[in-house]
Structure 1
Amino acid sequence: MTALAGLPSDFGYVILTAVASAIMVGYLAERVSFARKAHKVEYPTFYSPDNQLFNCFQRAHGNTLENYPQFLMLLFLAGIGFPRASSILGVIYIVGRISYAHGYYTGDPSKRMRGVYGYIGLLGLLGLSVTNALRLLEFI
């Protein structure tokens, strides 16, 4: 018996979504590296005191990292009972984070709101996770 035996057969979609999210985080990190070089912001400087555009790149990545653990936890918890729906919601979140970052990359922080639809994915995962908990507790 493997460790995966208790998971639904469609859980592979959840795993692929998690892998896609790791690629997304790597992509955002790469964008910060390129911005650091283009704007001549040397390590270990985290935020530039005089380069707002670089700071927008750094903040888009930083905010994504701040929310990443919750996303992964909810993706896996929701995926146990709803693997396909969780994967779809996870992809919505990932694409929303990319839109968020590209809005931020304009240098106008208000344009980060272009990715606000990603919260549909995150809140959906939250709802499915709670539903799984209530099912396990036999409340529903």
Structure 2
Amino acid sequence: MPTITVPEGTSYVAASLLSSVFLLTWQGIKVSGARKEANIAYPRLYAEKAEMEASPAALKFNCVQRAHANTLENIASIYAMTFLTALTSPPVAAGALASWVASRVFYTNGYATGDAASRHNTLVRLTYIPAMLTLLGGSIYSVYGLLSAGI
């Protein structure tokens, strides 16, 4: 039976991946609460323009919903880059994903104010950009290493 060797530090990657599950769950709970407060019935994804103009709660719902949707739109590429980076450096992958998760908390809380511009606050910039650059660079490094080794 073949043996799989797991690189040292993989448990940190697992923990950071789990934190992203908690992030998505927390965002979903925020969306649900904002939906209830704004009285936006399912299956509607967003409040209409007139509803937003009439109700700050409807605007906040749209903002929280959009923050959650944006996270879902990006999670597949984040997971792919985390996996690729973890092939050569699990602790780097784990740290970068943890930073990305933190950036999404700051992003969501900023967006949830109802002021869309607040989603790009200083805490987001300080956590998101380094995380993305690290994951992208780590992915490229890992793939280059595999290709160079003929694997």
Q: Name the CA shift for 1:2/1:84 in 2 (closer, same or farther; >3 Å).
A: farther
Find the aligned partners of 1:2 and 1:77 in 2 and give their Cα distance: 22
User: Structure 2 stretches of 5 or more lacking a match?
Assistant: 52-57
After TM superposition, the structure 1 = structure 2 runs for residues 29-108 of structure 1, keeping only pairs within 5 Å, are: 29-49=28-48, 50=51, 51-108=58-115
Provide the aligned length of Structure 1 versus Structure 2. 138
Find the aligned partners of 2:16 and 2:75 in 1 and give their Cα distance: 13
Shift in Å at residue 110 of structure 1? 0.3
* Deviation beyond 6 Å, 4+ runs, structure 1: none
Letter in 2 for 1:13: Y
Which deviates more from structure 2 when the two are superposed, residues 91-100 or residues 114-123? 114-123
Deviations 1:51-71 (A, max 9, x none): 211100100100010001011
Secondary structure in 2 matching 1:138:
helix
Find the aligned partners of 2:39 and 2:6 in 1 and give their Cα distance: 48
Shift in Å at residue 43 of structure 1? 0.4
The structure with the greater share of residues assigned to helix is 2
Shift in Å at residue 119 of structure 1? 2.9
Q: Please tell me the root mean square deviation across aligned C-alpha atoms, in Å.
A: 1.5
Find the aligned partners of 1:53 and 1:89 in 2 and give their Cα distance: 29
Q: Which structure is larger by alpha-carbon Rg, 1 or 2?
A: 2
* Matched-pair identity in %: 31
Find the aligned partners of 1:70 and 1:119 in 2 and give their Cα distance: 15
